[in-house]
Structure 1
Amino acid sequence: MIGLIVNPIAGMGGKVALKGTDGVVEEAIKRGARPVAPDTVRLFLRELKAHPECNKLKFLTGPGPLGEDYLREFGFRFKVIPHREIRYKMVGDVEIPDTSSEDTKRLAREMLGKVELILFAGGDGTARDVMSAVGKSVPILGIPTGVKMYSGVFAVSPEKAAEVLVKFLRGEARLEEREVRDIDEDAFRRDEIRARTHGSALVPVVENLVQGSKEAIRANEAEELEALTEAVAEEILESDGIYFLGSGSTLKRIKDKLGIDGTLLGVDIVEVRNGTAKLLVKDATEEDLLRFLDGNPRVVVTVVGGLNFLFGRGNQQFSANVLRKISKENILVVATPDKLTGPIRVYTGDREVDEKLRGYIRVRVSPWMEKLVKVV
């Protein structure tokens, strides 16, 4: 028996530059957000359906949008845990389930002693809820649906979560203790990082299929990072045009050197003319980026340390719709060598766009050097 818990509102804040969904679902919808978790869970189940092991599987899950709806849609065998009735509410013109973290915790507790593994669809907040309910009593694995996902308990994509589950059932996954990390989303939206480790959980790990934890910059990187960002900023100022500058401390250093009041944790749209940078849109949404695509923009991004993600973690403004219209040659990746601990990952949810970005990409690693790094 395998447990499945779905947080149906996870990830709604990503494309609309809210950097999370906790406590801001209404605001996300006002900005144009729509639920993303249902389709993510469907990607997972569609991939799982292709494996013969699925014929023997039985799930223990929550009612309706907490898991039952998706398992029923794909014809999986399942049992629903007795739970409160999940009602729906209208926010603007969008109908969403009226759920909370307490639903996740209660379902997780009900699964103790009854399942071999708990799968959950959500982000770091959902991971924290599951871990708080079960500790290390049962392995857990995240189907990545949130915005940040700094914890080391997530598969690298919904499809890879299906592969991990299959290998777990075959006895081919090793169990490891992995950190569950979360941040203060209110502070995050103010460009302040207040992250902490809340504990650890047992996770089935398969190399290259489960991500690590987000890492902070080490002190010995500071000097080379300063030189690298100085060189990149100078080169940007020498080439007129529209730039989409991504999130993170590396990009914030570049923004500061360009002389603009850019965000630390968001995406900014900048125009460079005659050696001067002008901030056009601060903390841009997916919709903002789409409006500037006709200007043949260049994208400058970094790699999320530890997670090895270029697109798909914390910068969902760079959606498939945006990246579909940007050539790979117009993407500049900036990262110190210490961040390049393996292949770079991209995940937009669109296989055609992901495939376009795969292969090899040039990464600027010093003022005078680039490195070819594989994108998977």
Structure 2
Amino acid sequence: MFKLGLVINPYAGIGGALALKGSDGQAIREKALLMGADKLAVEKTRIALEYVITHQDKLHIYTAAGEMGQELIEHLGFINTCVYWPNNSQTESFDTQATVKALIEQKVDLILFAGGDGTARNICEVVNNKIPVLGIPAGCKIHSAVYGVTPQATGRVLEQVIKGKIVSVSDAEVMDIDEDLFRQGKVKARQFGEMQVPTEVQYIQAVKMGGKESDELVLADIAAHVIEDMQDNPEHIFVMGSGSTVEFIMQELHIENTLLGVDLIQDQQLLASDVTSQQLLDYTHGKECKLVLTLIGGQGHMLGRGNQQLSAEFLQGVSKQNILLVATKTKLAKLEGRPLIVDSGNVQINKDLAGLITVITGYRDQVLYPVADYN
């Protein structure tokens, strides 16, 4: 079951048609309502969700009460769970942020939200790249790259993600302008951060060698991505799993790889090789870790085939965000849409890892791919 988080800023864009240059601030919203402004964010969300109504049996939506999501979701007939209840009829930015915090606790696969740049900025402050997001444009100001060009476009991308299609994910800028200056005729925009956004693309986005992936070049790109992460986090222990893609990363580090074993890297140096499950626990106890995995076997096993040293006790201490899953797009395509398989030996870990996971497919090139929930 795909777990979708939903946040609607019902007041997004209400000042636009009335030339109020935005909707930030309670006073502006009250003025817009007194002038007869229409709240269009809910309708724009409905347009986007129309694209996934036929996938209701695969979808569980987590949202906030009332106009922030639940009213619309129940009207459309989606399975839903309410995770937040605003105290006032006119919602504020803290309601948006409280909802997002609750959605992260629910470990949703993707957060869908409707609003403008102010809404994106509020969400960015909480999400901090912990989970992919996708925006429905509903505000007066849409400078941020986290939104679809239209609600329909957002709906199409959402449909591709829920259907388990190979969808790239990239860092997108969150921008906002100073509304007070904007009302004086001055545009002053600046970047407030980045969030990960799924992007609908052709399968081979950047073609190499006649439109096909060159294994060696792509593996070098994947290795560069992981090694850059190691450079940025020298204190982390990188637990290197089995598989040819992981082996290539070790070669790029000029470190001998243990075939069908687990090696430990810290500050781009070998910490330990071919460790047992107990040694792995001893080395990583109380330390920040990242787990580097690839797909093992023809059925897309991510855990449970060739990496039994990764015990349930160890995996309980590694968040989904700290799993660096590496694979070429060609390798993913050979699965023909079948989800990845996790067989950790622990039902709860299997459930926690189910849903979407980010797969590193090149240098700063990542895609979203589903992990099956067979429990």
* 1:58 partner letter: H
Query: What secondary structure, in the 3-state scheme, does the structure 2 residue paired with 1:112 have?
Result: helix
- The number of residue pairs the alignment matches comes to 196
Aligned partner of 1:155 in structure 2 is 148
- Per-residue deviation, residues 320-354 of structure 1 (Å, max 9, x unmatched): xxxxxxxxxxxxxxxxxxxxxxxxxxxxxxxxxxx
Taking the TM superposition and a 5 Å limit, the aligned residue runs for 1:101-112 are 101-112=93-104
Measure how far apart 1:101 and its partner are: 0.2
CA distance 1:155–1:195, shift in 2 (3 Å): same
**Pairing 1:175–2:166 present:** no
Report matched runs for 1:255-334 at 5 Å.
none
Which amino acid counterpart does residue 19 of structure 1 have in structure 2? Answer: K
What corresponds to 1:41 in structure 2? 45
Offset at residue 37 of structure 1 (A)? 1.2
Matches within 5 A, 1:203-222: 203-207=197-201
Structure 2 counterpart of 1:126, from 119, 122, 130: 119
Alignment-derived partner of residue 92 in structure 2? 100
Could you tell me how far 1:84 is from its partner in structure 2? Answer: 4.0
- Whether the 8 Å contact between 2:56 and 2:79 is mirrored in structure 1 is no
RMSD (Å) for aligned C-alpha atoms: 1.6
Deviation at 1:3, TM superposition (A): 0.2
CA-CA distance at 1:11 after TM superposition: 0.6
Gaps of 5+ in 2: 203-375
Residue among 1, 4, 7 paired with 1:5 = 7
TM-score computed with the length of structure 1 as normaliser: 0.50
**Aligned counterpart, 1:16:** 18
> What SS does the corresponding residue of 2:49 show, helix, strand or coil?
helix
The one of 138, 146, 155 equivalent to 1:145 is: 138
Which residue of 1 is the match for residue 30 of structure 2?
Answer: 26
Q: CA-to-partner distance for each residue in 1:127-165, whole Å, 9 max, x for gaps?
A: 011110111000011011101110000011112211111
The letter of the residue matching 2:46 is: R
Equivalents in 2 of 1:192, 1:27: separation in Å? 22
Residue of 159, 184, 193 corresponding to 2:178: 184
Q: CA deviation at 1:46?
A: 2.5
Whole-angstrom CA distance in 2 between matches of 1:82 and 1:31: 30
Describe the SS at the equivalent of 1:179. strand
Q: Which amino acid aligns with 2:22?
A: G
1:32-67, Cα deviation, whole Å (9 max, x unpaired):
322111211221222322xx3332100110111111
The CA distance in 2 between the partners of 1:48 and 1:162, in whole Å, is 7
Deviation at 1:30, TM superposition (A): 3.7
Counterpart of 1:331 in structure 2 is: none
Specify the SS of the correspondent of 1:41. Answer: helix
Measure how far apart 1:179 and its partner are.
0.3
Partner of 1:278: none
Distance in 1 of aligned mates of 2:46 and 2:197: 22
- Look up the equivalent residue of 1:151 and give its one-letter code: S
Query: Deviation at 1:18?
Result: 1.4
C-alpha separation in 1, matches of 2:57 and 2:179: 40
1:80-95 maps to which residues of 2 (within 5 A)? 80-85=82-87, 87-88=88-89
Cα distance in 2 between the residues matched to 1:194 and 1:116: 34
* TM superposition shift of 1:171: 3.3
- Measured after TM superposition, the shift of residue 207 of structure 1 is 4.2
Matches within 5 A, 1:218-257: none
Counterpart residue type for residue 200 of structure 2: V
Structure 1 unaligned spans of 5+:
89-97, 209-376
Name the amino acid aligned to 2:35.
R
Report the structure number with the largest CA radius of gyration. Answer: 2
Of all paired residues, the percent bearing the same amino acid is 38
What is the deviation of 1:188? 0.6
Equivalent residues in 2 for 1:49-64, closer than 5 Å:
49=53, 52-64=54-66
